[in-house]
Structure 1
Amino acid sequence: MSAEPVTATLVDRAEQRGAGAAAMLADHVVGAARAPLAEPVRRAAKAVLLHNLVVGLAAHGMPLPGLPRSHALPWAERPATAPDLAFATALRMGARAQHDEHPRSVTHLGSAVTPAVLAVAPRDVDGGRLLAAIAAGYQVGGGLGVALLPHVRARGMRATGVVGPIASAAAVAAVLRLDPAAAADAIALAANRAAGYTEVWLEGTDEWRLQTAAAARDGLESALWAAGGARGATAAIEGRSGLLHALGVDDERGAAIVGELPGALGGESVIAQMLLKAHPVCAINQAAVEVAIGLRRELSDADLATVERVVVRLSDADAAYPGIDLAHPPASWAQAMMDARQGVAIALADGRVDASALHPGSAEALRLRALVDVVGGLPSTAAHGAAVEVELADGRRLEGACDGVEVDAERSARMALELLPAAGLPLALAERLPALVHSIDEAGGVARLVDALAGIAPWEALCRA
């Protein structure tokens, strides 16, 4: 696929576009694709890209859903097409549950947007253009996702599955520099891929891994179809049989959502709002685990044996999210990752949370888990704040709280030094990766980054279009 602008051959294709949601989103994408990023947004985009690459590479060698390590899915291990590659890299980016999250929309934008862009961008693409496309996808996904979140949750759907394909399509449209009509078609086609339910958290099954990977693939496919001339419904989002209707949004609220889109797209940068996960647990559990790790430093082994009760306080919405307040010990890794009791218990038992320790958990962690209560009542924060109280038999009470876990490029770089060698990847790559991402917008920056991934499937196939 050429990276040059794709121009519609039918004049009426553009003339038929009104002021619907897809057209508004497309207008933002086209403008963002050509405008230089403000420096704070550029720094945020680099920090987010680094983090997602680190956690994706750290999943190297992890078994794919439902398959033992010795088996492979050809399209996920040896991708032959750009959509296959987007699926394969997104699958790994979310495998440790440490991909980024936009707290206001509860959407994992990085694993939907970034793999799609990297799968289709050419090796010689300007790094600034690549970052701008990624940021545009985040802005579309976050701007639309905030408005849709209450309706998505009410339907038992997962925000990433609903908004992710649209964000992915927007980002690919930006990096390919589709014209406004084609970009609107890409977004409309992607809206038809909205899917994914939160029953996965209640049963601890594998859909969560596939939902984000499908979002990356489906958005990319939608953009490629649109680039080739495929049409999408003008009112695919707000029409009387469109996405908003399917989510149970009434006409008045639907009109308000469309009317508010320009403000959301032109407002604060979404990519600068992202929560980067320090621990291999749900975003909602990050702060609780971080606080529990800090409290463990104040407890001796003898103290730990006398713990009588642990209270984890979250916002009402976070405490009620499916899977967070699990009544029984988790039956799978997916349930353990979502379970606030399990994460906090392991943090107290081990002083850290390793992905391999999450399930089934040590005997000590399971003993502590039985003492943990999860309650609401905290004010909602922009980063899933939490408070933890530990009560000991001698009457002492240890308390800690934080509004959210701060992860920046420096912390992600430290994570690379720990996680990549543990996954069997060279320490030299872990040491170089932060500098490679930092210089991605310099001449030849994208090529240097992908060259550093040589020999690491499926990452070595990125930016080869």
Structure 2
Amino acid sequence: MTTAAALLARHVVRAAGEPLPERTRRGAKAVLLHNLIVGLGAHGMPLPGISGSWALPWTERPQTAPDLAFATALRMGARAQHDEHPRSVTHLGSAVTPACLAIAAGYQVGGVLGTALLPHARARGMRSTGVVGPIAAAAGAAVVLGLDEAATAHAIALAANRAAGFTQVWLEGTDEWRLQTAAAARDGLESAMWAASGARGATAAIEGRSGLLHALGIDAEGVTSIVDALPGALADEPVIAHMLLKAHPVCAINQAAVEVAIGLRAELPNADPSTIVRVRVRLSDADAAYPGIDIARPPSSWAQAMMDARQGVAIALADGRVDADALHPGSAESQRLRALVDVAGGLPAAAAHGAAIEIELADGRRLDGAAERVEVDARRSARMALDLLPAAGLPLALAERLPTLIAGLDESDGVARLIEALDGIAPWEALCHA
């Protein structure tokens, strides 16, 4: 049996040598634009390790390429609006994009492997982004560094040893989630750089009897099944064309629920949420059971509020939108509404995190709404930039130019024009020159 690392490496190297299909090219530009916008939208946002007397040097004053990847990824995930691959529940953008701009190969590896590992990672309390992110970032960085199949396989194997991150963070509302994506970007790029310098990873680091799949509790039959399915899955539909781009600063699972709640608020008499007496939110069984989505007590931190379906829906009903600054603790009206919200499973399992909401009013009337997904494309991301970047203290002119700059990224001077536009904005400027 060919090893998993070798199969993944073969796909990466072959894909790098072939013309990029137009659908993949469009998807790559859309996710790059979105992740860049939400990352720039976090400019100046207070983050752990960024400022203060104990500031970590690789986040405040990054010098090396891996440290720059860490610092940039930290900002891409800061608003919780980085992209997500719904089938693997993996935030690939903030792991892969800072490590390289040749992102399609990294997305394909991360999405395919993450989809196969998701149920096993969840059962062990692992976060898919932390497990798969370093591998995806290493695959993408290997393309940038021009590694051959053997060196790419070593990069992937080395990155597999960086698989880490638990979902206990969502139950306690702590800060590990920021570290998980940022570390994935840094660790993946660093693994590829190690491999480029001759470092070797275990041949069977993924499927070996003491490898990653074994650590996730997968038996021998399951391991064989996963590895045998990799070639077909890697050649299937481009993962990067199926990314969920977040319209709201909440968990991907809560995007549709918040969107539906915003729509239903407009149907309230005089848009007055005080008439609401009960709210029922239905998700798929898997989404409702995901750590942090359905917690009885009010959230104790911003991170917990971002995961809390009750909180997101309550704020959407109270304010008609969800702003990052309003998530925690929320207004008095949103806190009242949160106590009226019930969350349950029961929706058909789907890859796009659908939601259905039923609202009961004081006069006995009911309002109902549902959405299978939230549609966000490059145009909606571009409209978001007009609000997010000026609010972060960045020029409106930059927000207006970004869509055109990303659209022309593959032109002869496209990268140079993007770098020029980011001049003076740390750490983006330094990352572009790394």
TM bracket, shorter-chain basis? over 0.9
Q: Is 1:249 aligned with 2:249?
A: no
Q: CA deviation at 1:463?
A: 2.8
**C-alpha deviation, 1:34, in angstroms:** 1.4
Helix, strand or coil at the partner of 1:374:
strand
Pick from 410, 425, 430: which aligns with 2:379? 410
Where does residue 42 of structure 1 map in the other structure? 25
**Is the partner of 1:463 in helix, strand or coil?**
helix
Write out per-residue CA displacement over residues 61-82 of structure 1, whole angstroms, 9 at most, x where no aligned residue. Answer: 0111266678743211221000
Structure 2 equivalent of residue 318 of structure 1? 287
Aligned to 2:242: 273
> Is the CA contact 2:315–2:327 (under 8 Å) kept in the aligned structure 1?
yes
SS in 1 for 2:432: coil
* Aligned 1:21-420 pairs, distance under 5 A: 21-65=4-48, 72-117=55-100, 130=101, 133-300=102-269, 303-420=272-389
Is 2:423 the partner of 1:454?
Answer: yes
Deviation string, structure 1 residues 224-276 (Cα, Å, up to 9, x no partner) = 00000000000000000000000000000000000000011000100001000
Output one character per residue of 1:175-200: Cα deviation in whole Å (capped at 9) or x when no partner: 11101100000000000000000000
Q: 2: distance between equivalents of 1:282 and 1:333? A: 12
Q: SS state of the match for residue 346, structure 2?
A: strand
Letter in 1 for 2:202: A
Which structure 2 residue ranges, 5 or more long, are not aligned? none
Please, what TM-score do these two structures have when normalized by structure 1?
0.92
- Letter in structure 2 aligned against 1:104: R
Scaled by the length of structure 2, the TM-score of the pair is 0.98
Q: Which amino acid aligns with 2:3?
A: G
Describe the SS at the equivalent of 1:230: coil
Contact 2:347 2:355 in 1 (8 A): yes
CA distance in 2, matches of 1:105, 1:252: 21
For residue 376 of structure 1, give the secondary structure of its aligned residue in structure 2. Answer: strand
Contact 1:77 1:457 (C-alpha < 8 Å) held by counterparts = no
SS of 1:46's partner is helix
The answer as to whether partners of 1:32 and 1:174 remain within 8 angstroms in 2 is no
Q: Equivalents in 1 of 2:53, 2:364: separation in Å?
A: 52
Measured in 2, the distance between the counterparts of 1:346 and 1:22 equals 45
Identity %: 80
- CA, structure 1 residues 61+186, in 2 after alignment: closer, same or farther (shift >3 Å)? same
Q: Distance in 1 between matches of 2:99 and 2:163?
A: 16
Matched letter for residue 72 of structure 2: T
Q: Is this contact kept in 2: 1:62–1:69, CA < 8 A?
A: no
- After superposition, the Cα gap between the structure-2 partners of 1:375 and 1:443, relative to the gap in structure 1 and judged at 3 Å, is same
Unaligned runs of 5+ in 1: 1-17, 118-129
* Aligned residues of 1:303 and 1:392 also touching (Cα < 8 A): no
2:388 and 2:53 map into 1 onto residues whose CA distance is: 22
Could you tell me which amino acid in structure 2 is paired with residue 217 of structure 1? R
The letter of the residue matching 2:30 is A
For residue 432 of structure 2, what is the aligned residue in structure 1?
463
Partner SS, residue 356 of structure 2:
strand
How far has the Cα of 1:140 moved from its partner?
Answer: 0.2
AA aligned opposite 1:202 = L
* Count of paired positions: 434
Q: Residue 344 and residue 386 in structure 1: after superposition, are their counterparts in 2 closer, same or farther (change >3 A)? A: same
Deviations 1:385-439 (A, max 9, x none): 0011110011110011000100000000000001000000000100000000000
Q: Which one has more relative contact order, counting CA pairs under 8 Å at least 6 apart?
A: 1
One-letter amino acid of the structure 1 residue matched with residue 159 of structure 2: A
8 Å CA contact 2:40–2:76 kept in 1: the answer is yes
CA distance in 2, matches of 1:71, 1:191: 30
**Aligned equivalents of 1:261, 1:65: Cα separation in 2:** 38
